[in-house]
Amino acid sequence: MKITKQQLRKIIREEKARDIPIYLYSDEELLREGLFDFLGKMWGKLKGTMQKGLDKAVSSVKGAYQDALKDIDKSKLDPKKPDTFKDLALKMGSIDNKGLSSIIEALDEAAEVESWADLSDADQERSMGLWSAVGTLQVMVKTWDEYVTEVSLDVAEGNPETPAEAAEWIDSMLGEVIEVWEWLQKNVKADHVEKSAKSIGDSAKSVRNYLGAIAKVIKADAEEQQNEWIDLKYRVAGIIQEVVEEEEINPYGTDNYSYFDEDEMQDLVGHT
C-alpha cells in the first residue's frame, strides 16, 4: 500500500480530531472505517473508467439490439399464444449469445487486474471490462423487460459504484436473463429456443465463474487495504500521542521537535 503526503496529512487531521483514543475502538469499528477509506479511494480512481466502460458498452449493444429487433411488432406478442414469441426468441437468442460472449471477454480482461486497491494505469484499463459487462447486461435486461411482459423482471435502477457491487449486480441481472429463457423454453416449443436456452445457460456458468474469481480478488485486496490502513492509523495516532505528552511536559516546546523528524515522516510516506 502506497500513501502520499496528502493522504498522510488527512490521517493526521482525522486522528487529532478523534474524541476517543483509537485504542478504545473495537476491531469491527476500525475495519468499517478502513473499508470506507478504501472504497472512497477506489471510487475516486474508478469513476472515470466506469463511465467510459458503461457508455461504450451501452452505445454498442443498444444499437445491435435495435437492429436485430426492428421487424418485431410488440403489439402482436401475446403470452396466451406462445408461438407469437418464436421470431423474437430466434433473434434474441442470436444477440443474447453474442452479448454474453462479449461479457465473457470483458470479464476475462478484468480478471487480469493485479490489484483492485492500488490500480495502475494498466489495471484501470483492465478494470473497464467489469463496467463493460454491466453496460451490456443493462441493455439486455431492459430489452427483455420491454418485450416479455409476462415475466416480471427486477431491473436494477442506477449503476453499481464499486467493483464488488458490480460483480453482485452482474450476477443478479444474469439471473433475470436466465429466468426469461426458462419461460421461453417452457412455453415456446421450438428447436431454436431449446438450443439458445442451453447455450445461454452454459455462457451464464462461465460468466459466474469469472465473477467468483474476480470477487475473491476484490475481497482479498479490500481486506489487505483495511488492515494496512488501520495499522498506519495506529502508528500515526501513536506519534501524535507522543508529541502531546512531550508538549505537556514542556509546554514551551523548547528542544521539542520530535514531530518534525524527517526519518519518521519518510518511514510513513511511501509506506508499502
Residue listed under C-alpha cell 431454436? 192
Phi/psi at 72 (5° precision): -85, 125
What is the arithmetic mean of pLDDT over 13-37?
58
Is pLDDT above 90 for 153? no
Q: Which three cell numbers stand for residue 115?
A: 490489484
Phi/psi at 141 (5° precision): -70, -40
| Maximum mean pLDDT: which of 5-9, 21-25, 112-116, 244-248 | 112-116
Measured CA to CA, the distance from residue 123 to residue 226 in angstroms comes to: 20
pLDDT for position 186? 93
| Residues making up the chain, counted from first to last | 272
56 vs 197, more confident:
197
How far, in Å, are 134, 186, 189 from residue 159 at the CA level? 8, 32, 36
Burial of 139 (0-12, 13-18, 19+ CB in 10 A): buried
pLDDT for position 244? 60
Measured CA to CA, the distance from residue 221 to residue 209 in angstroms comes to: 19
Q: Which three cell numbers stand for residue 23?
A: 485504542
What is the arithmetic mean of pLDDT over 145-173?
83
User: How many CA atoms within 13 Å lie on the side-chain side of 147?
Assistant: 26
For 56-82, the pLDDT digits (tens) are 888 888 888 999 999 999 999 998 898
Measured CA to CA, the distance from residue 34 to residue 30 in angstroms comes to: 6
Using an 8 Å Cβ cutoff, are 99 and 196 in contact? no
How far, in Å, are 87, 120, 123, 192, 219 from residue 46 at the CA level? 40, 11, 10, 40, 16
Neighbours of 148 (CB within 10 A): 22
For 73-122, the pLDDT digits (tens) are 999 999 889 899 999 999 999 999 999 999 999 899 888 888 777 677 88
- What pTM was computed for the model? 0.66
DSSP codes of every residue in 131-178: HHHHHHHHHHHHHHHHH-TTS------S---SHHHHHHHHHHHHHHHH
Neighbours of 189 (CB within 10 A): 11
Domain boundaries, the chain: 44-219
Is pLDDT above 70 for 10? no
Least Cα distance to 136 among 64, 46, 209 occurs for 64
Beta strand extents in the chain (DSSP E only): none
Mean pLDDT rounded to a whole number for the chain = 77
Is pLDDT above 70 for 233? no
Listed range (51-65, 167-181, 253-267) with the worst mean pLDDT: 253-267
Measured CA to CA, the distance from residue 165 to residue 130 in angstroms comes to: 11
Q: Residue type at 126?
A: R
pLDDT for position 256? 46
169 vs 157, more confident:
169
pLDDT for position 194? 94
What is the arithmetic mean of pLDDT over 19-40?
55
Measured CA to CA, the distance from residue 82 to residue 68 in angstroms comes to: 20
Could you tell me what percent of the chain has a pLDDT over 70? Answer: 61
How far, in Å, are 50, 97, 99, 167 from residue 110 at the CA level? 12, 20, 16, 11
